[in-house]
Structures are given as C-alpha cells and as structure tokens.
C-alpha cells in the first residue's frame, strides 16, 4: 500500500485492454490466465522527475479485466484483482480510442457534433414544453396536478431506463442503441404533437423519455470509444455543453411559438421530431460501427427488472407524493416508496449473486463502486447531492419570477437566458483547464458557485432588482452542474473499461437525476410547511409564498455546501485528468509501458505460467517506483 506521504504518480495507470489500431496485434488471453497477469499488460507506470506540490494523497483502483469471465470479477482469482494500485493523476495518454482505424479530425468533429446535438435536442424539448404548459393546460383541459406529469413522465422514464440502456449499448453496440433511441424519441415526439387529450400526451412524453435514455449513455460510450487524450476531454465538454445550449434554444423557440404561432406546443413537438430524424440520419453516416467487446451478449434481465421497476417506483413516489390526496401520508405513496427501496436493495444483492454463483455477466459490475479507492463512488455521490440543490433552485426560481415578481412565462424565460451563456462558458473552461488544474479544484469552485446562487435567491425579495441578486444567482447556479457534469463524465470514462463505458456513464446520470428529484421533493415539502406557517401568522399570500421559497433556497444552498464538503474530503489529491496526446498505435503504447522515467524496464508480458505471479511483480514495481521517487 502506498503511504500517505508518497509523491503523486503523474502518469496514468489505466489503459484499454482491447486497444486496436491499424498497426496493432490483438493478444490472445486464456481464460485460466491470472487476472494480474492480464492486468499488468494494461498498465504503465511513470514517476515524476520532481515531486509536484499538490496534496500527496493517493487513490487505488480495482480494475476488472474485460476479457475475463464474470465469475472471476469478485471471487476466485478476482480477489487478486482487488489489490490496490496507486493512481492519483489520470493521464489519458494511455486511454486510446477503440476504433478500428484512426479517424480524421473532420470525422471526429461530426461525431462530437452529432452526440452533442442529441443532448441539445433533449434539453430544448423540455424547456420548450415548459414555456407552453399554460397553453397545453387550456387546450387539453388538464388540471394542475395532471399538468406536472408532462414533464415528470419524461424525466421518470429517462432516468429509470439509463442503466439498462447503458448495458445494452455496451454489448450490442453504441451506434445501434444510439440510433434506435433517437429514432424512438422522434417517433413518439411526433405522435405527441397529434394528441387530443392530456393522458395521451403524458404517455407519448414517457415513451419519448425511453428514447432519450437509450441515446444518452450510448453517446457517452461513443465519445469514450472514439476519442482520447485532450480530444476526449474536449468532446465530453462539448457534450455537456449541449444541455445549456439546448436550454437556451428551447426557451427561445418555446417563447416564439407561444407568442407568434398558432397551436404553439404542437409546432414545437413537430420541430423537435424533425430534428431528431435529422440526428438519426447524421449518426448513420458519421458514427463508426462498434467493435465487439465481448462474445457473451447475455443480459441480466432479472437485475434489469429489479433496478428499473425500483427506480420507477422511487421516481413516481417522489414526484407524486406532494400532490397525492393525503400528501406523503397517502397509503399507496408509502407502500410504493417502500417497495421501490426494497427492489433497488434487492438489485445489489442479485448482482452479487450473479457475479459469485453464475456465469452470466452482471448488469453492473459492483467493482465500479470501489474503483480508485472509492473515488468513483464519491463522484457519483457528489453528483447526487449537488443536483439536489441545482434542480431545486431552477424550479423555485421559476416560481419566484412568476408568482412573486409576476413576470409571466416570457419574462421568466428571458431571466433564465444567462444560465445558458454561463453553462456554455463553463464547459469551454473545463475543456481548457481539465488537463492543467486538479479536478478537485474545478468541482469545488463549481459547488461554491451553485451554493452562492441559492443564497442570492434566498435573500431576494419581491422588489429586488433583477441585476442585483437574481441575475447573479442565475449565472452562478449552473457552474456546479456544468463543472461536475463535464469532469464527472471524463473521470468515469477514464476509470471504466471499454465494455462498460456506457453503463458507468449511465450510472452517473441516473444518480444525478435521482438526486434532482429527491432534492426537489424535500425542498418542496419544506417550502409548503413554511408557507402554511406564514399563512397561519396572518401574513399576506405573496409574503407567505416568498417565505416558503426562501426556505427552499436555503436548503438548496445547504445541499450544495454539503457536496462541497464531501468533495474536499473525498477528492483530495485527485490530480488532473486528460493530460497529453494519445498514442498513435499499440506499439507506441507498449513502448511507453516498458519503461519508467528512470529507464527501467517493466515486463509487459508477465509469466503466465504462475497464477497471480505477476501480482507480486506488480506490487514490487510500485514499491520500487516509490523508493526511486
């Protein structure tokens, strides 16, 4: 084990096990080969010539080999795999793309554009419909409680099917699942535009959310598969920027349709469907076909059913708890919430059973939660907590503008535009700084900004000038989300194997969506309680509303600062991600893995005759590097 005061090892120690280029040869590995023997050929070590000044805390990673049968991941020889490997700074030099041949810059540009436009389309659709909700309610004669399900149904299915979709993308091909998801989204968005009743529109939006759930994790896998080094960081930053860009376009398009076009919301859906069909066509021509990652393409359908149904019940109860007949005390809300929690817990036990007692591949490798000595799990948890404050701020800021300041939907739309500009700027900053600044700094700065954004609204009153506090709250609020989304996706891609890129990314996105729903439910309850207290104290209706919103904003700030505290503790010494330029071929990567900075050789082809023999060689090498540094 590397001691706490060991200098940071600056070179990345994770490489894709099935790196294939034009000039490379694919090593054939036997099933009974030692896990460490296979793992060693995937790792390269370099110690810095001089110790950096950053915090000398190390992390460890448990890296399962993608070429090993699943029963060895967590038991048997897989126990050797759980020996810790010291990594701090993650350099994507040794994270090559998995394309069959090098892609031109123009081809890479079109790939990044296509997947980014998918994120843009999804965000634009949500914002455009939010602007048109009053018109939808009038046309379809929907109640307030039913109206919320137009947005909730989409986010519910989008969040709950991500994990299953990620697994399908990893084993059946990211391009296939991506195109299927975009096409499915386009079809049901088009159908939604023709719906004559509210129930039909809610169902159409829910099914469209399934399409978005297929395309998003597939897009993460496509980027991880085709990009590497700084190009990968830039591509993920662009992908993350798709959300604020789409949000701005949705606000503008939705506002224009509301103001100038008849049957406004139907026209917005038709436009979105047309864009989705266009994206599907672009994907067919620009995204290269996947190379197979595993011959075993079985899907753990029992695990998929457990986690999907469990997440659906959790999301449903969180969304419907406040509007149920007796609120959170409604019997069916309590029952469904308990069942949902039990199903999610059962999913983890089932996955452990699949790994230990069967030959089937699990839906999700449990080792994802222990990668980099738990830092990957820390990033997941930070995303969950951070989105509690971020989602709550957006929801209650909308109510503050329309209910307290009485701006109307168009006025609220215009006041949200700074979030898109700030979001785009944040992702440009991430692309530029990700290889130069420790990741912890970016995450912490973003979380501080989101917390301060909540504070700006918490001290705003009915007559507060927009440019004094709300404007600052708007542009500050998105920094935490955009910094964390971009860096989180890059970090997840760096610590996941080629056959699990989409699942790892889907897990991150699932948790942040759950965090957003959970945070919104809690802050809404707190806001309503404070509102009732103010009404009982004979305060005016608007003053009572404002007190409730203030309570929600303060709680949102608290969750942001809680995420900051976790990041300060859990991400210490995390180092930088995405330094350097990718190796051009396997021989170059192999040459780098054979030498340290001191010129000493590291055998990339360990003795395969001794099971676990290379584990000792690997640990000896780590100890030798520590002594030299």
- Where is the domain boundary, 570, 602, 618? 570
DSSP assignments along 344-398, one per residue = HHHHHHHHHHHHHH-SSPPSS-GGGGGHHHHHHHHHHHHHHHHHHHHHHHHHHHH
- Measured between alpha carbons, how far is 303 from 325 in angstroms, rounded to an integer? 33
Both 133 and 210 in a single domain? yes
CA angle 42, 438, 572 (to 5 degrees): 85
Kindly report, residue by residue over 291-329, the tens digit of the pLDDT.
656 666 788 899 889 999 999 999 888 878 877 888 888
Both 44 and 110 in a single domain? no
Kindly report, residue by residue over 223-281, the tens digit of the pLDDT.
988 887 788 888 888 888 888 888 878 877 777 776 676 657 888 888 889 999 999 99
Both 350 and 331 in a single domain? yes
Q: Where on the phi/psi map is residue 612: left (φ > 0), alpha (ψ -120 to 50), or beta?
A: left
The answer to whether residues 542 and 399 touch, using CB atoms and an 8 Å cutoff, is no
> Residue 263 has what pLDDT?
58
* CATH number of the domain to which 461 belongs: 1.20.1250.20
**Residue 178 falls inside a structural domain:** yes
**Residue 184 falls inside a structural domain:** yes
Taking the C-alpha atoms of 17, 18, 21 and 24 in order, what is their torsion angle to the nearest 10 degrees? 80
**Residue 227 falls inside a structural domain:** yes
- Measured between alpha carbons, how far is 370 from 378 in angstroms, rounded to an integer? 10
- Where is the domain boundary, 359, 389, 404? 359
Kindly report, residue by residue over 448-482, the tens digit of the pLDDT.
999 999 999 999 998 999 999 999 999 999 998 88
Both 316 and 438 in a single domain? no
> Residue 35 has what pLDDT?
37
Both 493 and 464 in a single domain? yes
The answer to whether residues 179 and 283 touch, using CB atoms and an 8 Å cutoff, is yes
pLDDT class for 38, splitting at 50, 70, 90? very low
Alpha carbon separation from 50 to 58, 94, 325, 624 (Å, rounded): 16, 21, 66, 16
Q: Which two tokens stand for residue 274?
A: 């047309």
**Residue 586 falls inside a structural domain:** no
Average pLDDT over residues 169-177: 87
Residue 39 pLDDT greater than 50, yes or no: no
Domain count for the chain: 3
Kindly report, residue by residue over 132-156, the tens digit of the pLDDT.
777 788 888 887 667 778 877 888 8
Both 172 and 247 in a single domain? yes
HSE, CB side, 13 Å, CA atoms: give it for residue 238: 20
**Residue 587 falls inside a structural domain:** no
- Measured between alpha carbons, how far is 284 from 111 in angstroms, rounded to an integer? 10
Residue 68 pLDDT greater than 50, yes or no: no
Query: Could you tell me the maximum CA-CA distance found in the chain, to the nearest angstrom?
Result: 82
Both 285 and 315 in a single domain? no
Both 342 and 294 in a single domain? no
Both 71 and 111 in a single domain? no
Both 431 and 538 in a single domain? yes
**Residue 14 falls inside a structural domain:** no
**Residue 577 falls inside a structural domain:** no
Both 209 and 355 in a single domain? no
Kindly report, residue by residue over 342-394, the tens digit of the pLDDT.
999 999 999 999 988 888 888 888 888 888 888 888 999 999 999 998 988 98
**Residue 169 falls inside a structural domain:** yes
SS3 sequence of 59-116: EECCCCCCCCCHHHCCCCCHHHHCCCCEECCECHHHCCCCCCCCCCHHHHHHHHHHHH
> Which among 127-131, 171-175, 493-497, 559-563 has the top mean pLDDT?
559-563
Residue 589 pLDDT greater than 90, yes or no: no
- Where is the domain boundary, 321, 343, 359? 359
Question: Cβ atoms within 10 A of the Cβ of 584, count?
Answer: 13
> Residue 606 has what pLDDT?
32
- Measured between alpha carbons, how far is 290 from 97 in angstroms, rounded to an integer? 11
Residue in 12, 531, 500 with CA at minimum distance from that of residue 322 = 531
Both 117 and 219 in a single domain? yes
The model carries a pTM of: 0.70
Residue in 235, 288, 263 with CA at minimum distance from that of residue 119 = 235
- Which domain, by its residues, includes 150? 105-300+360-570
């Amino acid at each position: 084990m590397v001691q706490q005061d060991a200098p940071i090892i600056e070179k990345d120690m994770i490489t894709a096990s099935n790196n294939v280029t034009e000039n490379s040869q694919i090593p054939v590995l036997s099933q009974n080969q030692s896990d460490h023997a296979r793992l060693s050929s995937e790792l390269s070590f370099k110690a810095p010539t001089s110790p950096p000044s950053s915090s000398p805390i190390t992390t460890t990673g448990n890296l399962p080999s993608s070429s090993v049968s699943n029963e060895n991941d967590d038991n048997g020889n897989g126990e050797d795999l759980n020996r810790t490997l010291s990594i701090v700074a993650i350099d994507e030099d040794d994270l090559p793309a998995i394309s069959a041949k090098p892609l031109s810059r123009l081809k890479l540009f079109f790939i990044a554009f296509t997947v980014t436009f998918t994120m843009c389309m999804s965000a634009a659709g949500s914002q455009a419909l939010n602007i048109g909700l009053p018109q939808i309610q009038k046309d379809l004669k929907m109640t307030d409680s039913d109206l919320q399900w137009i947005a909730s149904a989409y986010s519910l299915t989008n969040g709950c099917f991500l994990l299953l979709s990620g697994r399908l993308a990893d084993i059946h091909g990211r391009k296939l699942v991506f195109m299927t998801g975009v096409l499915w989204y386009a079809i049901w968005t088009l159908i939604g535009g023709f719906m004559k009743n509210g129930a039909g529109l809610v169902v159409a939006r829910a099914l469209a959310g399934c399409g978005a759930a297929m395309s998003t994790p597939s897009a993460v896998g496509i980027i991880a598969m085709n990009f590497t080094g700084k190009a990968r960081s830039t591509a993920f930053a662009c992908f993350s920027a798709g959300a604020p860009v789409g949000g701005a376009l949705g606000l503008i398009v939705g506002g224009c349709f509301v103001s100038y076009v008849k049957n406004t919301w139907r026209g917005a859906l038709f436009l979105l469907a047309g864009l989705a069909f266009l994206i599907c066509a672009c994907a067919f021509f620009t995204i290269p076909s996947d190379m197979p990652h595993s011959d075993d393409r079985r899907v753990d359908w029992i695990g998929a059913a457990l986690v999907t149904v469990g997440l659906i019940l959790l999301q449903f109860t969180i969304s419907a708890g406040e509007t149920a007949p007796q609120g959170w005390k409604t019997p069916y809300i309590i029952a469904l919430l308990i069942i949902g929690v039990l199903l999610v817990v059962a999913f983890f036990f089932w996955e452990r059973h699949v790994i230990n007692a069967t030959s089937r591949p699990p839906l999700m490798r449990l080792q994802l939660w222990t990668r980099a000595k738990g830092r990957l799990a820390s990033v997941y948890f930070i995303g969950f907590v951070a989105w509690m404050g971020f989602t709550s701020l957006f929801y209650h800021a909308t109510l503050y503008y329309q209910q307290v300041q009485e701006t109307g939907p168009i006025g609220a739309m215009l006041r949200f535009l700074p979030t898109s500009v700030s979001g785009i700027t944040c992702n440009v900053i991430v692309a530029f700084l990700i290889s130069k600044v420790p990741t912890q700094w970016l995450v912490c700065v973003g979380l501080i900004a989101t917390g301060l954004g909540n504070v700006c609204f918490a001290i705003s009153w009915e007559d507060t000038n927009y440019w004094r506090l709300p404007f600052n709250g708007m542009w500050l609020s998105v920094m935490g989300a955009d910094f964390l989304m971009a860096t989180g996706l890059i970090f997840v891609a760096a610590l996941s194997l080629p056959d699990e890129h989409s699942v790892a990314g889907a897990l991150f996105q699932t948790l942040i969506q759950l965090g957003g729903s959970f945070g919104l439910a809690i802050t809404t309850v707190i806001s309503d309680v404070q509102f009732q207290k103010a009404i009982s104290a004979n305060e005016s209706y608007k003053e009572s509303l404002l007190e409730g919103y203030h309570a929600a904003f303060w709680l949102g700030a608290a969750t942001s600062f809680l995420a900051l505290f976790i990041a300060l503790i859990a991400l210490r010494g995390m180092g930088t991600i995405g330094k350097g330029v990718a190796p051009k071929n396997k021989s170059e990567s192999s040459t780098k893995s054979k030498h340290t900075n001191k010129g000493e050789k590291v055998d990339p082809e360990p003795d395969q005759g001794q099971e676990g023999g290379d584990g000792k060689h690997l640990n000896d090498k780590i100890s030798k590097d520590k002594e030299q540094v």
